[in-house]
Amino acid sequence: MKQNFAIIGLGRFGGSICRTLAAAGQEVLAVDMNEDQVNEYMNVATHAVVANAQDEGVLRSLGIRNFDTVIIAIGEDIQASILVTLMVKEMGVPRILAKAQNENHARVLEKIGADRVVHPERDMGVRIAHHLISKNIMDYLELSDQYSIAEVNVTNPKFFNQSLLDLNFRQRFSLNVIGIRRKSDLIVSPLATEIVKENDSLLVIGETNDVEALDDQMSK
Ligand code: ADP
């Protein structure tokens, strides 16, 4: 389904979101106060506009209130990021994603109503650290402070050739298996009768501490 997105700030983060959404065929309005940045996205976004988003009149004339999702990807200027987030929220935009520079900035953005706050350097650091610590965790995505999705390699023979039901997986680990990767195949939403094999990896969703407990079990 086609949605419309407005991206404010076309640095590395906003720019990469813009390219990805446009390539996926979505409607994208790209806004930056720097003309050079805007020129770079002229042929990428549906519309690219040079404007200072801190000006409420500018946001109104761009019709920001009519967008399904607004992404505030202003980098260094924390004050601008907060002010723009606040104004976009007051306009009643249903989904606001904002980029934070640090923990305090993230707290403020959450308080004033950003639906999702991302802190790309920190989030990527957490993800890479999980890869480094564990031999079993192939990939890791933090969904919130409490929940994550992880891809865990099946390395413990106790799991081999048993169905998810035999393993009593959900009760035992308090995790849902949303996929099983087997060589180049991905079994999406596996049935409880699906047999887990050596070298499979399980895509699980649940509380981060339960993901860590599963990882520990794999190493036993
Ligand atoms: P990144 O880490 O994503 O590269 P940057 O700080 O380099 O972040 O990029 C942020 C972008 O946001 C810059 O291109 C900058 O011109 C733009 N920007 C900053 N303040 C405003 C504003 N008030 N209105 C519009 N664009 C802004």
The model's pLDDT over 66-91, given as tens digits with 9 standing for 90+, comes to 999 999 999 899 999 999 999 999 99
For residue 190 and ligand 1, the question of a CB distance below 6 A is answered with no
Q: What is the CB-side half-sphere exposure of residue 26 using CA atoms within 13 A?
A: 19
pLDDT for position 144: 83
Q: Are the CB atoms for 84 and 113 separated by under 8 Å?
A: no
Residue 134 confidence (pLDDT) above 90: no
pTM of the model: 0.75
Mutate to test the pocket of ligand 1, among 17, 33, 83 (most ligand atoms within 8 A of CB): 33
pLDDT (tens digit, 9 = 90+) per residue, 164-204? Answer: 999 999 999 999 999 999 999 999 999 999 999 999 999 99
Q: What distance in angstroms lies between residue 11's CA and the mean position of ligand 1's atoms?
A: 5
